[in-house]
Amino acid sequence: MGRTSGDEGNKKIALTFDDGPHPYYTEQLLKGLKERNAKVTFFITGKNAESYPEIVKKIYEDEHLIGNHTYNHTQLTSKNRESFKEEIIKTNEVIKAVTGEDVIYVRPPYGSWNKEFEKELNMFPVLWTIDPLDWCSHDVSCIVKNVCAKAEENDIILMHDQYKTTVTAALKIVDELTEEGYEFVTVDELLFD
């Protein structure tokens, strides 16, 4: 897609959603993002991707980036290295079966990661710079304020697409930050452009 000449001045920022897809809220989020022409990144679990392949397909068709969030939302510990790695591989297979593309980006649950996996799995870990703790708040304006007050160019915002309040807050965040001159991009564009 070509950029219009007015886009060069926009500050880039990435909105990311973990733990989905959710059978209802992810669809509502996709609809709102499409209306706003905002691109985001979804770090999905293999378990949910297997349960809702049609939503994974919709995310892909809407040109959002899909990343891996393990199969069962497992945290890496010193004792589960191999099973953690297997969860990532299994999730990659589930996602590729729907999209036909290899998964390159992974968000390790709770941020626990082993640098050796980058070579072993040929994957790139993506953490975050802003965490509004949307999963434990029902206050939309509080979530929006938390993000918008901290937002800076090249930030990566962590949210979760299983909550009604998150969907509402995320779309308000897109509206407010777009007005402030931000452009919502997928994490690959932020990290490698």
| CATH code of residue 95 | 3.20.20.370
Reading the block at residue 142, the tokens are 């509080």
Say what the pLDDT of residue 10 is.
Answer: 84
Query: What's the rounded Cα separation, in Å, for the pair 64 and 96?
Result: 15
Say what the pLDDT of residue 112 is.
Answer: 95
Q: What is the 3-state secondary structure (H, E, C) of 28-65?
A: HHHHHHHHHCCCCEEEECHHHHHHCHHHHHHHHHCCCE
Q: Mean pLDDT of successive 10-residue segments in the chain (193 residues)?
A: 50 97 97 98 98 98 98 96 97 98 97 95 97 94 97 98 96 98 96 79
Residues annotated catalytic, as ranges: 18, 160
Query: What's the rounded Cα separation, in Å, for the pair 172 and 180?
Result: 12
Rounded to 10 deg, the angle between the 53-61 and 81-99 helix axes is: 70
Say what the pLDDT of residue 158 is.
Answer: 98
Say what the pLDDT of residue 8 is.
Answer: 55
Beta bridge partners of 125: 106
Are the CB atoms for 56 and 110 separated by under 8 Å? no
Say what the pLDDT of residue 1 is.
Answer: 38
Structural domain boundaries enclosing 67: 5-192
Are the CB atoms for 135 and 160 separated by under 8 Å? yes
- Total structural domains in the chain? 1
Say what the pLDDT of residue 76 is.
Answer: 96
